[in-house]
Structure 1
């Protein structure tokens, strides 16, 4: 299996994209470390993965708390793969965005991956190998009303991806990002609701929301040696939403000769 002998830490991995990633990495032979704030859900996720014969453990952590973040880095120890997936998605127009939610988004989406990476990457550098995958968003590429704080923090994470690729790449540590489009996860559904999610199903060229596993497959690829020459890039996994223009009726415009 392609991830045999590796240890992978996936933040925000008790559900959604993070859990799907942990499951796929475990199936590929990695020893996975699941993190999240919910103790019971985290333990259940680790038991489920361990029940398949894979190696999984759970570390409870609140990434908005610097002390908890330091504890996570210490408890995890040396890892070969780090997936910065945990995120907070506040919704609301800029004029009504509350400061508390804004600060939580900054702490979860930027500060936590920044300092977790800073704590764990020295061991990767010492070994001369490692892979870091940051989870961004389609909203970092196109303007979307109501998600200004989320999009801004994820844009910053994409910028860090390029900077870290430049800083760590010469030592053999690759850093890349995945930018999902709308994905049917608990966080998304809690933020936008089922009705809006159903409407978004028909909003892209593929006419469906992504499943968490759709995103996880690309994350696992970037973490593996199959992507050994990919560094500093962001891969859009949005069903073509940021690449294909659709008119108001939802149809793609046909090509026309002039």
Structure 2
């Protein structure tokens, strides 16, 4: 398997009970990692874990809502304990993506988006990256969005939170990269998941603006995440990789 062999690695994937997170968990498990599936919904999480184990993978579920620093601290500690004292790969995938006019966003809406999309990754990296650096190796992949790159009406809150995550990706690469921790980001375009199903035809309309002309499947985004998490991306640091069917290229 060479560069895609993740045997012996411990991978924590947040928001892993559905969509891109679940697809990423499955791919990392398939490549040999011990995958820690983190999410709010225990029943969905256990189903994901059961599926990974049925496929021959090693997986465990960790309940976490990541709404505050204490939740992130607890998740980092539980993941480290379950991982036998370490986490080698962190995928910051958990996020919320409400769309709507700026004037209709309540203070609680703003807090909810920034708490999960910005603060949770920040606190998890603060807890896990130093230990990776002490060991001299690790990989962190942040899941962003193509609308962090350009303005879209109704997506100010969501896009700005992910733009912050992109800058954190680069700052963390500068901070932890010299000690062997690679930090990168993936920017998905419109993707078919349980979460985006409510968009209906809007998802296809958004996707039609890109050269690919269609939404992504979750597996296609997971492939990019798994690439950045693995040794095949050993010289990739601080990158923000668009996986958006070409939308930000044109």
Corresponding position: 1:222 with 2:225: no
RMSD value over aligned CA atoms? 1.0
**1:9-158 matched pairs, under 5 angstroms:** 9-77=12-80, 78-158=86-166
Distance 1:147 1:224 in 2: 32
1:197: how far off? Answer: 1.8
CA deviation map 1:125-181 (0-9, x unaligned): 111000000011101111111111110110000000000000001100000000111
- Corresponding residue for residue 254 of structure 1: none
Whether the 8 Å contact between 1:90 and 1:102 is mirrored in structure 2 is no
Distance 2:238 2:70 in 1: 29
Corresponding position: 1:204 with 2:216: no
CA deviation map 1:202-227 (0-9, x unaligned): 23211110111111001000011100
Whether the 8 Å contact between 2:42 and 2:63 is mirrored in structure 1 is yes
- Corresponding residue for residue 248 of structure 1: none
Corresponding position: 1:236 with 2:239: no
Whether the 8 Å contact between 1:89 and 1:187 is mirrored in structure 2 is no
1:201: how far off? Answer: 4.1
CA deviation map 1:93-117 (0-9, x unaligned): 1122222111100100011000011
2:168 pairs, out of 140, 145, 160, with 160
Corresponding position: 1:188 with 2:196: yes
Distance 1:203 1:75 in 2: 42
Distance 1:210 1:12 in 2: 18
With the length of structure 1 as denominator, give the TM-score of the two structures: 0.91
1:67: how far off? Answer: 2.4
Q: Which runs of 5+ in 1 are unaligned?
A: 245-258
1:66: how far off? Answer: 2.8
Distance 1:64 1:73 in 2: 14
Whether the 8 Å contact between 2:185 and 2:239 is mirrored in structure 1 is yes
Whether the 8 Å contact between 1:23 and 1:49 is mirrored in structure 2 is yes
Whether the 8 Å contact between 2:34 and 2:59 is mirrored in structure 1 is yes
- Corresponding residue for residue 251 of structure 1: none
Larger Rg: 1
Q: Which runs of 5+ in 2 are unaligned?
A: 81-85
Distance 1:199 1:89 in 2: 17
Greater Cα offset, 178-187 or 102-111? 178-187
Helix, strand or coil at the partner of 1:35: strand
Distance 1:202 1:121 in 2: 38
1:188: how far off? Answer: 2.2
